[in-house]
């Protein structure tokens, strides 16, 4: 993958002017732009601030009091620019110092055009990949820090690599104190001192393992906390396990609400049962009253019909005895 573009700018730091001009000609022949040549460490720092190049070719041995390694260290403090060291020779101590500045490559004098081209392209590509990776990590970190759930991520050894602000607040352990500590020292569940670690063991024993959402009681230094937690493995692009992540949340308020709803529901059920009993008793009273009313109505009806039957019989007897003496109206 060739990353050279007409805008690819390289600063050359070389105190031998003839060598510097030769390097510039080579770079221009390969398609790079050289906005400046620096002959000292201080000048290299200044030119970097002015031009903000895409890459710096830095000679390790400079005649100035500041060598190329020290100049690279200072540049790294302020700028994200890949640096390639150019040197004719260097002892072990110098190379160890150079490693500490995390260079993107070394070129040994004398070199061929192909050597410098390959080294530069590899450095540009590596820097591009690392920058994208950092951006991705920053984005992921921002997402994890902004979500409402607590998140703790560990490496394969069970040591914490990441903890977001929500988890810090729940556990009471700042990130700078938690990172690097064993997970089971920070995340302990009631009932089993090793259950925190057993969560990671469960995830590690099965390639497809994932802890379903589970409720538990988190042990804290100042008490206990009802939580809901889940966990899963962290896989790389090859599908290999590189760590674990546990996500949990405080459910104290939810459980309190659930308890209140449960008590309210039970109270309503009691009221309904009580009202049902009252209605049942009222219904029984009404049934008794209806029965008494029916009995009373029957008695009254019977008592009224008896004199009427007597009167009807007496009238019939009179009619039979005196029918021939009565006119039509009397009958």
Domain ranges of the chain: 10-143, 147-250, 256-325
Across 143-156, average pLDDT: 84
Q: Which fold has domain 147-250?
A: Beta-Lactamase (3.30.450)
Instruction: Please state, in angstroms and rounded to a whole number, the distance separating the CA atoms of residues 212 and 256.
Output: 23
Asked if domains 10-143 and 147-250 share a fold, the reply is no
The single-letter DSSP state of residue 181 is S
Residue 48 pLDDT greater than 90, yes or no: yes
Instruction: Please state, in angstroms and rounded to a whole number, the distance separating the CA atoms of residues 130 and 136.
Output: 10
Domain 10-143 bears CATH identifier 1.10.10.10: no
Across 154-159, average pLDDT: 88
pLDDT, position 197 = 45
pLDDT, position 236 = 79
């Amino acid at each position: 993958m060739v990353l050279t573009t007409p805008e690819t700018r390289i600063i050359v730091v070389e105190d031998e002017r003839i060598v510097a001009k030769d390097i510039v000609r080579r770079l221009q022949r390969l398609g790079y732009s050289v906005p400046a040549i620096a002959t000292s460490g201080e000048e290299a720092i200044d030119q970097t601030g002015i031009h903000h190049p895409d890459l710096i070719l830095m000679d390790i041995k400079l005649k100035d009091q500041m060598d190329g390694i020290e100049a690279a260290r200072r540049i790294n403090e302020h700028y994200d620019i890949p640096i390639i060291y150019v040197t004719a020779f260097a002892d072990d101590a110098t190379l160890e110092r150079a490693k500490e500045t995390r260079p993107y490559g070394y070129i040994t004098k004398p070199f061929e055009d192909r050597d410098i081209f390959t080294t530069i392209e590899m450095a540009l590509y590596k820097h591009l990949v690392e920058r994208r990776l950092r951006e991705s990590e920053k984005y992921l970190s921002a997402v994890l820090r902004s979500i409402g759930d607590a998140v703790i991520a560990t490496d394969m050894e069970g040591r914490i690599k990441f903890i977001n602000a929500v988890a810090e607040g729940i556990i009471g352990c700042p990130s700078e104190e938690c990172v690097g500590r064993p997970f089971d020292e920070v995340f302990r569940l009631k009932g089993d001192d090793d259950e925190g670690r057993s969560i990671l063991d469960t995830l590690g024993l099965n390639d497809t393992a994932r802890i379903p959402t589970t409720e538990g009681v988190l042990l804290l230094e100042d008490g206990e906390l009802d939580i809901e937690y889940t966990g899963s493995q962290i896989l790389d692009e090859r599908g290999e396990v590189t760590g674990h992540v546990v996500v949990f949340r405080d459910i104290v308020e939810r459980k309190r609400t659930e308890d209140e709803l449960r008590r309210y529901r039970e109270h309503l059920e009691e009221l309904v049962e009580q009202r049902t009993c009252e209605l049942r008793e009222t219904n029984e009273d009404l049934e008794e009253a209806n029965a008494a009313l029916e009995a009373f109505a029957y008695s009254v009806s019977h008592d009224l019909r008896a004199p009427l039957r007597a009167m009807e019989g007496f009238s019939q007897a009179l009619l039979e005895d005196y029918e021939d003496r009565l006119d039509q109206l009397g009958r």
